[in-house]
Amino acid sequence: MQRAEPQEFSRVLSSMCTEPHPTAREAAEQFLASNPGDPGTYGTVSTLEREAVDRLGTVAELADPAGYIASGGTESNVQAIRLARNRADTRTPNFVAPESAHFSFRKAAGVLGV
């Protein structure tokens, strides 16, 4: 059996399985100590995030949209359940999801007591 050559990663900026590209590493080191989600540090990012949430609220016809831009699906699902729980008019909120829903909804329910 002939062994396959490793994939060429010279154009990949960063991956769990590779050394980061020198430019990506330099950028990460430059901003490592800052939090792009901090509205005091990055006011423009905060403004863009608020605009995105408001626009999505308009699309969904929500009178009072809330939220933020998350880094991935699991975080988004957990925070959506947390927000709904916190805004619920009951002490025992629940939600309904199909069996095919992402596993993070069950995770969120357990962590958040929903």
Q: Per residue in 4-59, pLDDT tens? A: 565 565 666 556 666 777 888 888 788 777 776 777 777 888 899 999 999 999 99
d(CA 93, CA 109): 10
Give the global pTM. 0.57
Give the span between the Cα atoms of 46 and 44, in whole angstroms: 5
Number of H helices, E strands in the chain: 4, 0
E strand or H helix that includes residue 2: none
From its phi and psi, is residue 16 left (phi > 0), alpha (psi between -120 and 50) or beta? alpha
Question: Could you report the per-residue pLDDT of 48-88, keeping only the tens digit for each?
Answer: 999 999 999 999 999 999 888 887 889 999 998 998 899 99
